[in-house]
Amino acid sequence: MTTTNDGTEATVPAPAQRISLPDLAPEYYRAMYAVERAARQGVDPVLAELVKVHASMINGCSFCIDMHSTDALKNGEQQHRLLSLPAWRETSWFTAGERAALALTESVTLLTQGHVPDAVYDEAAAHFEPAELAQLIALIVTINAWNRIGVTSRLSPAAKQGLPR
């Protein structure tokens, strides 16, 4: 919301979408959906949405934050946990496994800031069986790809919800 000269509040329209990959790169987009389906196999749905929201917050993808927060709530996630994701280390309501997954999400998402430290990887490996860890890594890589599509093309959650663009 923005305050106008007369003191009333007005919504600020979302930036216009730059490009539509589904329309202009349909084969790639279908392939991304196939990767998405494969990546989430075997990952707890609540954990999957926590990871997706966290990576999307780090990457600043409003479309993905909106979508995956909504999906997380539908899967039974609690609102206060979603709202505290940026400060997950400072809270007590994430399990040790969730904390390991969130730390791994940060390291993979912020790859240029120190790669994925052995300690982060080892902690995740301590909480997930090898097949689960592989799926978790696939999920993190996939949401980062989706974030890059959303941010670059300026996907807006407003368009999805029928709100002013």
- Which CATH number is associated with domain 20-151? 1.20.1290.10
Helix, strand, or coil here: 139? helix
Handedness of CA 35, 53, 161, 25 (dihedral sign): negative
The length of the chain is 165
pLDDT for 156: 86
pLDDT for 4: 65
Per-position pLDDT tens, the chain of length 165? 556 677 777 777 778 899 999 999 999 999 999 999 999 999 999 999 999 999 999 999 999 999 999 999 999 999 999 999 999 999 999 999 999 999 999 999 999 999 999 999 999 999 999 999 999 999 999 999 999 999 999 998 875 555 443
pLDDT for 165: 37
Q: Locate the domains of the chain by residue range.
A: 20-151
Residues 6+ apart with CB under 8 A from 72: 46, 49, 50, 53, 82
pLDDT for 10: 74
